[in-house]
Chain A
Amino acid sequence: MAEALDRDASPAVGNATGGEASRALELELRHVHKRYPSRREAAIPDLSLTVPAGEVCVLVGPSGSGKTTAMRLVNRMIPLTGGDILLGGRSVLQRDPTELRREIGYVIQQVGLFPHHTVRDNIATVPKLLGWQRARIDARVNELLELISLDADDVADRYPNQLSGGQRQRVGVARAIAADPPLLLMDEPFGAIDPINRTILQEGFLALQAQVRKTVVFVTHDIDEAIKLGDRIAILREGGVLAQYATPAEILDSPADDFVAEFVGADRALKRLGLATLADVELVAMNGHRPVGELPVSTNVRDALSVVLAAGGEPFKVIGDDGEVLGLATLDAIGGVLKDGRDIGSNGMPDSGPAHPPAHPASREKA
């Protein structure tokens, strides 16, 4: 059976080539239940949520909330004990686990690069398992190294222990998307990286995601990371219960309950400002006022607030992309974002709260 699988390169994944448009599929968790044999309580009693194709869903919560378990159920690294998980409308339970996993990118905190393989061979792991041709693998590896901004000549033939932590993490991501999987699972991928490099990696991830548009399930315990990276955030509480599943803006604007409010922190208003830019602010007309400085319109509102406060609350002139003056950012104007800015930054999600969007089992979305 194992031999048969090796030759069975999944046709869907086999179609992916370097340079072609990448794929993404909708992921649906349907009444997922997980109880470990040695425990009485279920780690996840009943979890349902849908991640639309090409979106980043961040699973966030305290330890013991089952976020990693939920993620690992998707590629069957942990067996389900109830419910179903559908990838592109197809149940993962009907697939052979190894075949399924080759179609799902997988990045863990410790990266898990193979120490005995060069960067090139690490990235080529899944394409090799799928039986790609040598030339196609080489082309794909070079393309991916470029995508993660690593110099192929410099890095491709190094071993993982010759890379920095940040480089290793990027190679881990490149390895995960090498065979153009429609879904990417990331378990605290930046958790072990120092804050400066974590920010760089987060920016890199957003830039990469803007290009490849994968469906991503991203696990973290860091709510700031969740807000920064997620199109949607699923907040889990202890006992594996979904407390709220919504866009970052919705969660910050209207936490479903006290747990969520506490989890996102007392500074949620500030975090909410961080999701908007001055373009979202209803600026005040210039007449009569004397601005103490200028801010580009692309400044995020949280930073703008900080600048304005530092200047003693005096208004700043907002400059457009072409250098034109758009108006004044005053404290009141900035605060206005919180009052009527409910839909800013959200993707038009119908509802906040633990409810999940209706299932579309047959839909196979392409990004």
Chain B
Amino acid sequence: MNPPFAAGVVPIIPKSLLGTPHQYACEKANRLFCWGWFKQNWSGIFWPALRQHVVLVLIAVTIGFAISMALALLAHRFRRAEQPVVWFTSFLYTIPALALFELLVGVPGLGLSRTTAEVALVSYTLLILFRNILTGLRSVSADVRDSARGMGMNNRQLLLQVELPLALPAIIAGLRIATVSTIALATLAVLVDGNEGLGAPIISAINDGYFKTELIAAGGLAVLLAVGADGLLVGTQRLLTPWARARAV
């Protein structure tokens, strides 16, 4: 709707766009999204960015899950451990993301690196995962726990055969929230780890100033990735908890 360029001003064309008449035309019309350009740069920009993004998220959620599981098991066994863990993870969760990324760069040994990005991403998963795992473990009804003990299960058997399976729905619910929010947050990783993940094309588009395709494509891919990951987790849950679907006859 807006006139693309002020009359007489020669547009500054980013280097990556040079040499292809198609994109130039699209850009000239200042369309929101240039499909041809997107296709042309899929293998060069978007596919690598998407792959990096998935790796970033997988590592963050995996490590976050491992830490949260350990903390939740601790709090499950020793009630007193719960509050300190909640305080600490809530504190991490309330730090504004931008600030945390920048703060971590200053930490000796981290600097501008993928590790810095992962540390930040992991710290945001802890509260959600910890809370959900612990809630799930505690949701196992007293009579089920009592009968398990009464039949001679030791602590480990009670945990592995009864509590963890029954906590699965709550655990996976936590994983879904953590995964989706990490996918969104991981676009900030580019701040501390240049050219990493779907944040890279987004930053590039922001710096560019007027060409939107890169931004919309990367943002859209992040959304699709989130929806896909969520669906995958829902499917996993259905597969792992057949009893939840078996209803009274």
List the interface of chain A (C-beta within 8 A of B).
2, 5-6, 75, 77, 97-103, 106, 108-117, 125-126, 129, 158-159, 161-162, 172, 175-176, 185
Asked whether B146 is an interface residue with its Cβ less than 8 Å from the other chain, the reply is yes
From known contacts A111-B143, A114-B162, A115-B166, infer whether A126 and B246 are also in contact, taking CB-CB under 8 Å: no
From known contacts A116-B241, A162-B247, A162-B248, infer whether A108 and B146 are also in contact, taking CB-CB under 8 Å: yes
Contact partners of A2 in chain B: CB under 8 A: 154-156
Asked whether B150 is an interface residue with its Cβ less than 8 Å from the other chain, the reply is yes
Asked whether B78 is an interface residue with its Cβ less than 8 Å from the other chain, the reply is no
CB of B248 within 8 A of CB of A101, answer no
What is the bound-complex CA distance between A114 and B165, given in angstroms? 10
CB of B152 within 8 A of CB of A101, answer yes
- Taking a contact as CB atoms closer than 8 A, the residue among B143, B146, B149, B246 that contacts A159 in the complex is B246
The list of the 7 closest CB pairs from A to B, nearest first, reads A112-B147, A102-B152, A106-B150, A101-B152, A110-B143, A112-B143, A159-B246
From known contacts A108-B143, A110-B143, A111-B143, infer whether A75 and B249 are also in contact, taking CB-CB under 8 Å: no
Asked whether B10 is an interface residue with its Cβ less than 8 Å from the other chain, the reply is no
Q: Interface size on B (CB < 8 Å)?
A: 26
From known contacts A106-B147, A112-B147, infer whether A161 and B243 are also in contact, taking CB-CB under 8 Å: yes
Contact partners of A158 in chain B: CB under 8 A: 246, 249
Interface string of B230-244 (1 = CB under 8 A from A): 000000000001110
Please give me the residue from chain B that is nearest to A178 by CB atom. Answer: B151
B151, B157, B165, most chain A CB atoms within 10 A = B151
- Taking a contact as CB atoms closer than 8 A, the residue among A110, A117, A125 that contacts B151 in the complex is A125
How many A-B pairs fall under 8 Å by CB?
A: 82
**Mind listing 15 A-B residue pairs with CB under 8 Å?**
A5-B154, A77-B149, A101-B152, A102-B151, A108-B143, A110-B143, A112-B141, A112-B144, A112-B145, A113-B147, A115-B144, A115-B166, A117-B243, A161-B246, A162-B249
CB of A99 within 8 A of CB of B152, answer yes
From known contacts A106-B147, A108-B146, A112-B143, infer whether A129 and B152 are also in contact, taking CB-CB under 8 Å: yes
Interface string of B163-195 (1 = CB under 8 A from A): 001100000000000000000000000000000
Contact partners of A162 in chain B: CB under 8 A: 246-249
CB of B147 within 8 A of CB of A108, answer yes
Q: How far is the CB of B148 from chain A (nearest CB, A)?
A: 7
A77, A110, A113, A176, most chain B CB atoms within 10 A = A110
Please give me the residue from chain B that is nearest to A105 by CB atom. Answer: B151
From known contacts A106-B147, A112-B147, A162-B249, infer whether A98 and B243 are also in contact, taking CB-CB under 8 Å: no
Asked whether B86 is an interface residue with its Cβ less than 8 Å from the other chain, the reply is no
Please give me the residue from chain A that is nearest to B168 by CB atom. Answer: A116
Please give me the residue from chain B that is nearest to A13 by CB atom. Answer: B152
CB of B243 within 8 A of CB of A129, answer no
Q: How far is the CB of A343 from chain B (nearest CB, A)?
A: 37
